[in-house]
Structure 1
């Protein structure tokens, strides 16, 4: 088995991934994740919410319907929809999720997010 690794700005991360793969192929623990691959609890929560928002968006739900699923009908109905901060958050979540789906997920593997 051989691996071809481009000598670009992510070469060290690629090598770390390759070493983890080699350890697993040798039936050992992969070892700790490189710090660039570690996701904070806050980002993990946001990514999960983005997935839920994207699911609703791809099923044809309106932003208001997505917001109700994410935050509950009481929170959505508390303020006028057009000026609600929940509306803005929902639109950003969907936009970020679509961008992630369209290839932005690769940024999660790079050292700088």
Structure 2
């Protein structure tokens, strides 16, 4: 089944190279793309030395929180999840991310 995904990618590449309309990429939903973007932003911030709270303030647009508020904040768990998923994607999970979901 991966062959079909690759053929679609080649078709998009060829269309781009020849100045034609690029067929839509249907592998990821809009929500999956948004989450992937946030995962990359999160890992970039973390690798640049930002704390998880600072990352949450920027990416999730939350205001400054006290230490106790941060410990109880759902945003803390969101950032931890984004970091974990970003690490998994970097260590090879991106291959799975770019495949079409197939029915079993």
The two structures have a TM-score, normalised by structure 1, of 0.68
**After the TM superposition, which residues 43-58 of structure 1 pair with which residues of structure 2 at under 5 Å, given as runs?**
43-58=32-47
Correspondence for 2:24: 33
CA distance in 2, matches of 1:47, 1:73: 20
Q: RMSD of aligned C-alpha atoms?
A: 2.6
User: Is residue 2:74 matched to residue 1:85?
Assistant: yes
Structure 1 residues not aligned, in runs of 5+: 1-8
User: Is residue 2:8 matched to residue 1:16?
Assistant: yes
Equivalences, count: 101
Give 1:53 shift.
0.9
The two structures have a TM-score, normalised by structure 2, of 0.73
Structure index of larger Rg: 1
- Secondary structure in 2 matching 1:29: coil
Structure 2 residues not aligned, in runs of 5+: none
